Amino acid sequence: MLLTDIAVEHTVVSKKDGVRQTFLLHPFTDTQRDSLGKFELVRDVSQPGFKDVKRSTFVSFHQLAELYAKGLLDEFGFSVRMCPAKGTYPAKLPAKKILPTSIKPGSSFDLAVQKVDIAKPATRELRTALLRTNVQI
C-alpha cells in the first residue's frame, strides 16, 4: 500500500548515459511477513571505532504519525523508504527525509499527526522498534 498523503520528488541520473529521470515517490508498506503493512525507517548510525552503518526498523501508520508529530524523525535523522506510484524505479528504492511540505494538508496522515498527544510517552512497541536503530526515547 502506498501512503499517497506524502509525496517527495526525486531525480535519478543514469551512470551509463546521463539521462535524468524524475519520480514522485511515496512511503510504502512492506509485504514481508514480520513487517507486513509497516513503513521502513532508515537511519545512519556511527559509533567511535566502528564503520558507519545504516539501521532500519518498521513502524505502523500511527507510529509514523506519532514520530512525525513529536519531531523525532528529524531529531534523529530518520528517512522513510519510498517508491514510485507509477512505473518502476531503476535502482534500489531510496530512503528520503519527510519535510512538512511533503504532507498533503487535510489528508488522513495529516489528521493522524494532528491527533497525536505529544505529552504522552511513546508506546512500548514504538520504543522497542526504535532500539533497533540505536535510538532511546
Residue 3 lies in a domain: no
Instruction: Give Cβ neighbours of residue 19 (< 8 Å, ≥ 6 apart).
Output: 13
Cell numbers linked to 85: 506510484
For 61-95, the three-class secondary structure string (H helix, E strand, C coil) is HHHHHHHHHCCHHHHCCCEEEEEECCCCCCCCCCE
8 Å CB contact between 72 and 137: yes
pLDDT tens for the chain, residues 1 to 137: 889 999 999 988 888 888 898 889 999 998 887 888 999 999 988 878 888 889 999 999 999 999 999 999 999 999 999 999 887 888 888 999 988 889 999 999 999 999 999 999 988 999 999 998 888 88
Residue 2 lies in a domain: no
State pTM to two decimals: 0.88
Residue 137 lies in a domain: no
CA distances from 124 to 2, 41, 53, 133 (A): 26, 17, 25, 15
Question: How many structural domains does the chain have?
Answer: 1
